[in-house]
Each structure stands twice: as C-alpha cells, then as structure tokens.
Structure 1
C-alpha cells in the first residue's frame, strides 16, 4: 500500500460557542475562542490517499486532480470565510477543529477515485492539529 499526501492552505474565522450555554459558560469553556467578534486561523490541510499505483501512470491518484477536488469541495467554500456563518456544511455544528475535520471528510470522500481517502490532518496552528481517518 502506498500513501500520497497533498497539502493545501486556507484562512478562515470562527468562534467556539455553544448556543445552549450562557455567555459565562462559553467563556469558561472556550476562553478567548468564544469571542463574539470571532477569531481566525491560517489552516493547513493534509489530504492523504492510499492505494496501489496504476500500472500505466504510476499514480494512486493524480495529485493535480486531488488538488482540484479539494479546491472545489473544500477550499472554495471555506477560504476567507466564517465557518459559523458562511459554510453550509458546518451549519448547526460547533466549529471546533475536531468537528470541522469530520465535515471536511464527508465532503471529500465521495469524490476520491482511484485510491481511497485514508487520512485528513488539519493544522489550526503550527502547534495544534487533528487527524481523522473516517472512523
């Protein structure tokens, strides 16, 4: 099995806020991330596809095609957007990085052909990231 990873970058704003809680509860749980005026991140998304290389091309998936799929189904929807307000697939969900990566998977997985989507890694900051394997 071979694994190939494409890295993409985007910027987005969000806030962590549970509408069922009081302002005080949100501030206690989420601190400055509950700021009513939002805050932003320079995200880095790693998309890993696994498979056996095609004997004719040597590719699991054409990485240019993978980039176009990622742009169409993720980047065009989230780049320079507010995850809480502007992104349809995040509607009604707490915009944590953990929830966000699950929803990204749901958007990408049906469009990956040739190989199989194996892992997503989403960096929120250079020191904080989440991994998801579709489980």
Structure 2
C-alpha cells in the first residue's frame, strides 16, 4: 500500500511553570532555570501535525483539510490556547514541559482522528527549540 502524507501547522499561546514536587526548590531552580519562575511564563507555540495513509480514490486526499482543522480546533486549540498548562488534567502528575505537551497532543489527536494515521506531532516552542513525537 502506498502512503501519502498531509501536514498542517497551527498556533496557540499558553503558559506553564516547570516545577516538580520530586525536587527541592533549589533543585527545581537548578534544573529548570528561568522556566521555574513561580509566576510561570508563556510561549506562542507552533504545532505541526502530519497525517499519513492511502489516497482516497474518490476525494484524492489522505484526509480532508477541513476535517483535520475541526479535530485540531476542538480537541487541541480550544483546550490549550490561552491557558496555563499546569492546570490541565493531563499535567496533574507530570511537568508541563514541551516534550510532555507534544506527547499529550499526540495522544489526544490519535484518539480523535477520524481517518488517516497520525504520523507525528511537532511543536516549536521558540525560534530555536522544537520537539517531535511519533507515538509508541
């Protein structure tokens, strides 16, 4: 079976504080630096989603762009945009690093994808930092 790929980028703004109760305050500051600020800090994230699968004979598409947009809008953007990630239930027991955000977005989308296979999620946190998750 041949596989084609379709990717799309989305933007969201969210804040977080990198801190874990498993470390002392001093160790948290040493580990996370300025990202351990008690008031938190924010990012304008760029989320890239790549879907792969066979090209549908009728539509000529792997997935309809409008369908993908709707899934990402309802399951990711509405949930995380303009929020503090520390308060989302997905991060109750883990530090909301962008690595963990990338894994969480992948997991949420994987369960919500109506057609096509989710290949990866890539998140740009800053101009220089990006994270990518391909699943288990």
Q: Is the shorter-chain TM-score for this pair beyond 0.5, marking a shared fold?
A: yes
Instruction: Tell me how many residue pairs correspond in the alignment.
Output: 134
TM-score, normalised via structure 2 length: 0.95
Deviation at residue 114 of structure 1 after TM alignment = 2.2
Give SS of 1:125's match. coil
Which residue number in structure 2 is paired with residue 35 of structure 1? 37
Higher deviation after alignment, 106-115 or 29-38: 106-115
Inter-partner Cα distance in structure 1 for 2:115 and 2:14 = 30
Matched, 1:118 2:119: yes
TM-score, normalised via structure 1 length: 0.95
Deviation at residue 111 of structure 1 after TM alignment = 1.6
For 1:46, which of 45, 48, 56 is the aligned residue?
Answer: 48
Residues 43-122 of structure 1 aligned to structure 2 (within 5 Å): 43-85=45-87, 87-122=88-123
Deviation at residue 115 of structure 1 after TM alignment = 0.9
Matched, 1:128 2:133: no
Give SS of 1:84's match. helix
Which residue number in structure 2 is paired with residue 7 of structure 1? 9
Q: Which runs of 5+ in 1 are unaligned?
A: none
Over the residues paired in the alignment, what is the CA RMSD in angstroms? Answer: 0.9
Q: Give a deviation string over 1:32-80, Cα, whole Å, max 9, x none.
A: 0000000000000001000111011011101111011011111101000
Give SS of 1:4's match. strand
